[in-house]
Amino acid sequence: MRHKVLKISSLLLLVQLAGCASLGVQPWERDLLAKDEMALDAEGVDLALDDHIYFSKEATSGGRAFAGGGCGCN
């Protein structure tokens, strides 16, 4: 019974370690992520609308860059 538990636990450990083997961006995928449209601030109109919403709801300016706001919550 003990030998069977040891086999199963070592198999689970190997499966968990193999699951972390492919983290990160591959070199051939980096060219797609470097395009201008992939930037977080690619759309100026969307940023202006977001700033207006944050300013209206949080009673603060620059709402995207700072935590918290006019409501007192963080």
Whether residue 26 is contained in a domain is answered as no
Domain count for the chain, please give it: 1
pLDDT at 8 over 90: yes
pLDDT at 17 over 80: yes
Please, what is the average pLDDT of the chain? 75
Whether residue 51 is contained in a domain is answered as yes
| Section 34-57 average pLDDT | 76
pLDDT at 6 (0 to 100): 94
pLDDT at 51 over 90: no
Whether residue 12 is contained in a domain is answered as no
pLDDT at 63 (0 to 100): 47
| Section 8-29 average pLDDT | 83
Q: Which domain holds residue 40?
A: 35-62
Please state, in angstroms and as integers, the Cα–Cα distance from residue 16 to each residue in 3, 40, 52, 71, following that order: 20, 32, 45, 43
Whether residue 19 is contained in a domain is answered as no
